[in-house]
Amino acid sequence: MTDLLELESQTLAAIDGAGDEAALEAVRVGALGKKGVISALLASLGKMSPDERKIQGAAINGLKDKVSEALAARKAALKAKAREAQLAAEAVDVTLPARVSGLETGRIHPITQVTDELTAIFVDMGFSIAEGPDIESDDYNFTKLNFPPSHPARDMHDTFFFPPDASGERKLLRTHTSPVQVRTMLAQKPPIRVVCPGRTYRSDADQTHTPMFHQVEGLVIDRTANLGQLKWVLEEFCKAFFEVPHVAMRFRPSFFPFTSPSMEVDIQCRRSGGEIRFGEGEDWLEILGCGMVHANVLRNCGLDPDVWQGYAWGLGIDRIAMLKYGMPDLRDFFEADIRWLDHYGFRPLDLPTLAGGLSG
Amino acid sequence: MKFTLSWLKDHLETSASLDEIVEALTRIGLEVENLENPAAKYAGFVVARVIEARQHPNADRLRVCIVDADGEPVQVVCGAPNARTGMKSVFSPVGTYIPGKKITLTKGTIRGVDSNGMLCSAAELELSEDHTGIIDLPADAPVGVPYATYAGLDDPVIEINLTPNRPDATAVSGIARDLAAAGLGTLKTKAPAPVAGKFDCPVKVRLDFAPADAHLCPAFALRLVRGVKNGPSPEWMQKRLRAIGLRPINALVDITNYVTFDRGRPLHVFDAAKVAGDLTVRRARKGEKVLALDGRLYELDDSAVVIADEKGVESIAGIMGGEHTGCDERTTDVLIESALWDPVNIAQSGRKLGIVTDARYRFERGVDPAFCIPGAELATEMVIELCGGEPSRLFVAGAPPKGTKLVDFPFSEVRRLTGLDIPKAEGEAILAKLGFAVLSDDKVEAPSWRPDIDGKADIVEQIVRIAGLDRVPPNPLERLEPSVAKPVLTLLQKRTRTAKRALAALGLREAVTWSFIAEPTAELFGGGNPALALANPIAADLSDMRPSLIPGLAAAAERNARRGFRDVALFEVGQIFLGTGERDQRVAAAALRRGLAKAEGAGRHWLGGGGAVDVFDAKADAFALLAALGVPTGGLQIVPGGARFLHPGRSARLQFGPQNVIGWFGQLHPDALEALDMEGPIAAFEIVLDALPAPKARSTKAKAKLERSEFMPVERDLAFVVEKSVPAADLVRAAQAAERNLVAAAQVFDVYEGQGVPPGRKSVAISVTLQPKDRTLTDAEIDAVIAKIVAEAARKTGAALRG
């Protein structure tokens, strides 16, 4: 028995002393392997008398269990230690910068964002989106819109022209999105509810004018559309677009060849510093032109003005973008200065929705 | 259109304040653009008496003046030689802003004597250039009265932004009529009385037009006034003309300008002594020249209408008179012209000659034909009053048309078009005050001064603008159908929106660049079609419609580089132009990366990379876009090389077959960079969204059933050695083609040239994934497939397994 006790203490000491899994395995093989000391003791049981076997058997098996347990415990401890060492070795400086995602650096231009905002509002009101070419005929840009040839009203638009083609026709860059009205009326039967965003061009350049700019046209044609409805549409639009509960608008009589009565619309605001707030204040700011579609325009587009009636409006997308988001200079819109784009641009997934709010 | 408050009150009896008038003008459609009161400039200046002027004790040239400006006597030091005891002058106390000196007066001590203000010269008030002495006012000038009031400068100038449809409001009288209709007072414009002529007008007028041209001059009235004495016009007239920005010339000329603004009736005066024989009104002859009143020589063609005498052209009809027959102080006999001209012809001639005058402004909008003769009478009356003389009878060639227009106008139109329920009596009263005759049976006669009235909507407009647009009640636009809003965007509209968000998500910044670019750049990028060059570009480098978005983006990148931001990644989704036809416009999506702005992040990074952008950055962007748009790329061909602005070895065309090119990607050619005057490298792509195939129409929204194999896929790596010129894609295709049922994927994971690989060849390693569908593959089966792949690769590309 003394031998067994000594063997036990020696073996357990060896297990404790094993510095790594290999050393521990050597101890295990030495004790419990095929040729191990304890295995040999177990093998010797068969040569013993039943009585002796009973006593020795319990003692040797007890030793085996103890050693097995100690081996397992030591193995777990060694594994934990090794894992710890591994983790320590794998540690990095987590303050180092990761690769930057495009979602962080990408930007949407304010014109796109505002166009998406307009679309969300007007589509909810039941409008479709119509488009037309930038290079237009004089007929669609002017004549069908009731601009008589050589009338001074044409001088209100500083028009870019192309050289006359073989047939003598001189095309132009559309000076407004109104020709899309004509295209829509010629292409589809009333009732019509469309908005037409797009690029427009006038030969003009200063702080508030660029030779290219963006407009959105609106057109409603049916049997009952009237000025009161136009007022409602524009007021609802302005509230939704500027995201304010209330706006005050002023409709002033004006003149456009393609509408009668014609109006310009001012919106009430307060200016302080570089900031403009809507729905309060003492100032009036002109934001759009509108009116009842002129009978001649309806006729030119094949509609009987005694049966069909409607209204139209046009407003500057760049202009309302500036008003809403506070860019001071129109020219910056087309400069692509990345500092400006980073600052005034929108994040890639800032998709305006009415459900989530236009500007988040 | 500018006028002064006192001028308006010549025509409008009103108790309304200036603010009320200004507010009303804007409310009824005569938008006040500018309001200026010259008196504001002279705030503080008062009429004063010099109680005593004595010699300054310490300066020979200075005087010490005690001034009475209706308060405590004030002491000022004055350097004017004409300062003297008892005189009346203009005094400005401390704190007054002196416009002529651009300073605000402070209390001062001049050579030991206190000075509390200033006695002013005309130059200091910017009244004239005279700074030789202080203003010497008449002895009866009232002390203490503001100088502006005393001098009649207290007359606010109102400028309205006149819309081109309102020729009647080019007259102060017309503006007064609108205000009277809006309830701001009573119109008191007097109709001119006919002047009895003493003799026949010795100069006759012949309208020399072909019948088809008769509209060019419907009427021409002429009268001689002889024995006039021409000199400066009276002060009140000069003041008004100056206030609206006109330069007084002499009484005869000033009268024509005055009537132009007062009644919207342009006139012309000839010095009769300088007119040879009778006058002929006709089309100009090509090459005829005339020295006009602006001192410039104009060469005419037969589109312009002129007034000629026996010697030649004396006046450009309705636009500008000639220098030769102009009136000056020596004029004793004057011919007064009041004529009617064709608006379209005047507009065209004026534009062609580049002459902008108050006469053209009115004639091209449409001058009241009914006032042609009265205008001549009014001018005659004023000439006689201001210059004396004896009038002839009026000679009238042609006859002024009536100019009124009958319009159908059921009163219900007001409600139909506006929704406003206005009492009929109120509406008709407005029309009457505006000069419209309301007739029975739903008809209205528009007055001769309103050529803009065309139909019943225009009549509605008159009523609502005067009644007040704020009275029109808003009413909601109901939905056409009581249902949830239907989708409305077209495929192209949806793709345009998605493309922008997708490209932004790749870290690109959206730019919006000009639709027009410089001609050489357009040409380099496949444009340069003369039909797409603007006839009147705003600048030489904005001359041609763009055939591609890249030039604009490249220029934007270059501008950023010049500001110190060299590594930029930009995109644009917008129109490009292949021709002037309406189907020649496309929507393209393009991105451009410059310098170190690589797809995985811009600039250097501690994790490595940080190299310059290359063709694969462009390719990555292009394919990410196609993926975002849901365009299947299985059938997409990548054809090496591209347009001449692209690096031939680092670019490719993207196509679904030769007839269906959708775009390209690559690095810009060094020559193109040189032409664009910029440094590279630049990697870019451009895809035409219109060219992308539409998704297959499907009858159900349900997705196709997912097929998943139950068996493990097997992956094997194969390294081939192949001619350098063989595209890796050919090797991949060969591997896929070898056993279509089993090869699920084949991907290049390594390309190597150099030691161990013979010169002129490269090693391309691909990883092949085999996906069994019905059972696990045995080693023998796998080996057989691999052998097939190797054989196919050898057959198609000459590749051999790397030993």
Q: Which two tokens stand for residue B600?
A: 């995985």
* Beta-ladder partners of A197: A216
Interface subset of B 270-289, CB within 8 angstroms of A: none
Neighbours of B94 (CB within 10 A): 16
- Which pLDDT score, from 0 to 100, does residue A2 have? 58
Neighbours of B296 (CB within 10 A): 13
Place of tokens 């750049």: B521
CA distance B521 to chain A (A): 18
| Contact of A345 with B510, CB cutoff 8 Å | yes
CA distance A129 to chain B (A): 7
| Contact of B20 with B27, CB cutoff 8 Å | no
Q: Is B455 on the interface with A (CB under 8 A)?
A: yes
Residues on chain B touching A246 (C-beta within 8 angstroms): none
Say yes or no: domain A109-344 is CATH 3.30.930.10: yes
Torsion, Cα of A186, A188, A190, A192 (10° steps): -100
Strand B646-655 with B714-723, pairing:
unpaired
Contact A341 B575 (CB under 8 A): no
Q: Which residue of B has its CA nearest to A100?
A: B601
Q: Is the peptide bond before A191 cis (omega within 30 degrees of 0)?
A: yes
Contact A150 B344 (CB under 8 A): yes
For residue B738, what is the DSSP state?
Answer: H
pLDDT in tens, B654-665: 999 999 999 999
CA dihedral over B368, B371, B376, B378, signed as positive or negative? negative
How does the average pLDDT of chain A come out, rounded? 91
pLDDT in tens, A197-240: 999 999 988 777 899 999 999 999 999 999 999 999 999 999 99
The Cα B210–Cα B732 span in angstroms is 82
- What percent of chain B clears pLDDT 90, i.e. is strictly above it? 78
Place of tokens 């528009």: B446
Residue B424 has pLDDT above 60, yes or no: yes
Residue B539 has pLDDT above 60, yes or no: yes
For residue B62, what is the DSSP state?
Answer: -
Contact A295 B508 (CB under 8 A): no
Question: Which class is domain B2-37+155-186?
Answer: alpha beta
User: Binning pLDDT at 50, 70 and 90, where does residue B592 land?
Assistant: very high
- Spatial neighbors of A316 by CB under 8 A, at least 6 apart, are A213, A214, A215, A287, A288
| Contact of A314 with A290, CB cutoff 8 Å | yes
- Which pLDDT score, from 0 to 100, does residue A50 have? 87
- Spatial neighbors of A282 by CB under 8 A, at least 6 apart, are A268, A270
Q: Is A188 on the interface with B (CB under 8 A)?
A: no
* ipTM for the complex shown: 0.89
The whole-number average pLDDT for the span B351-380 is: 95
Mutation target among A125, A142, A155, A160 for the B interface, most CBs of B within 10 A: A160
- Which pLDDT score, from 0 to 100, does residue B83 have? 86
User: Binning pLDDT at 50, 70 and 90, where does residue B60 land?
Assistant: confident
- What percent of chain A clears pLDDT 90, i.e. is strictly above it? 65
Mutation target among B364, B413, B465, B477 for the A interface, most CBs of A within 10 A: B477
- Which pLDDT score, from 0 to 100, does residue A152 have? 61
Domain ranges of chain B: 2-37+155-186, 40-150, 205-398, 405-467, 491-691, 714-801
Mutation target among A122, A135, A147, A204 for the B interface, most CBs of B within 10 A: A135
Fold of B40-150: OB fold (Dihydrolipoamide Acetyltransferase, E2P) (2.40.50)
Interface subset of A 76-115, CB within 8 angstroms of B: 96-97, 99-109, 111-112
Question: Which class is domain B405-467?
Answer: alpha beta
Place of tokens 């978005």: B549
Q: Which CATH architecture has domain B714-801?
A: 2-Layer Sandwich (3.30)
The answer to whether the B2-37+155-186 and B405-467 domains have the same CATH topology is yes
Q: Please state which of the ranges B120-134, B157-171, B305-319 shows the lowest mean pLDDT.
A: B120-134
| 3-state DSSP assignment of residue B730 | helix
* Beta-ladder partners of A252: A264
Q: Is B570 on the interface with A (CB under 8 A)?
A: yes
User: Binning pLDDT at 50, 70 and 90, where does residue B127 land?
Assistant: confident
Compute the half-sphere exposure of residue B335: CA atoms within 13 Å on the CB side of its CA: 30
The whole-number average pLDDT for the span B120-140 is: 84
Residues on chain B touching A199 (C-beta within 8 angstroms): 515, 574-575
Q: Is A251 on the interface with B (CB under 8 A)?
A: yes
Q: Is A337 on the interface with B (CB under 8 A)?
A: yes
CA distance A90 to chain B (A): 16
Phi-psi region of B117 (alpha: psi -120 to 50; beta: other; left: phi over 0): left
- Which pLDDT score, from 0 to 100, does residue A150 have? 67
Domain ranges of chain A: 2-90, 109-344
The whole-number average pLDDT for the span B720-737 is: 93
Question: Which CATH code, of 3.30.930.10, 2.60.120.260, 1.10.10.10, 3.40.50.720, is assigned to B491-691?
Answer: 3.30.930.10
Residue B259 has pLDDT above 90, yes or no: yes
The whole-number average pLDDT for the span B622-646 is: 94
CA distance A52 to chain B (A): 57
CA dihedral over B149, B2, B468, A269, signed as positive or negative? negative
The whole-number average pLDDT for the span B255-259 is: 97
Residue contacts between A and B (CB atoms, under 8 Å): 264
The Cα B156–Cα B150 span in angstroms is 15
pLDDT in tens, B741-782: 899 999 999 999 999 899 999 999 999 999 998 889 899 999
Residues on chain B touching A337 (C-beta within 8 angstroms): 559-560, 563
Mutation target among A154, A199, A252, A303 for the B interface, most CBs of B within 10 A: A252
Residue B610 has pLDDT above 80, yes or no: no
The Cα B623–Cα A72 span in angstroms is 55
Q: What angle do CA B541, A315, A189 make, to 5 degrees?
A: 110
CA distance B455 to chain A (A): 8
Low-confidence ranges of chain A (pLDDT < 70): 1-2, 150-153, 155-156
| 3-state DSSP assignment of residue A314 | strand
Residue B129 has pLDDT above 80, yes or no: no
Q: Which residue of A has its CA nearest to B581?
A: A135
Q: Is B513 on the interface with A (CB under 8 A)?
A: yes
Residue B408 has pLDDT above 90, yes or no: yes
- Which pLDDT score, from 0 to 100, does residue B150 have? 86
Strand B585-594 with B108-110, pairing:
unpaired
The whole-number average pLDDT for the span B672-701 is: 93
The Cα B264–Cα A300 span in angstroms is 33
Residues on chain A touching B545 (C-beta within 8 angstroms): 135
Nearest to B572 by CA among B549, B545, B544, B598: B549
Residues on chain A touching B473 (C-beta within 8 angstroms): 228, 231
Nearest to A121 by CA among B575, B509, B477, B574: B477
Residue B630 has pLDDT above 70, yes or no: yes
CA distance A276 to chain B (A): 21
How far are the Cα atoms of A15, B32, B482 from residue B260, in angstroms, in the given order?
A: 119, 20, 58
| Contact of B230 with B327, CB cutoff 8 Å | yes
Q: How far is CA B143 from the centre of its chain?
A: 51
Question: Which CATH code, of 3.50.50.60, 3.40.190.10, 3.40.50.300, 3.50.40.10, is assigned to B205-398?
Answer: 3.50.40.10
pLDDT in tens, A177-204: 999 999 999 999 999 999 999 999 999 8
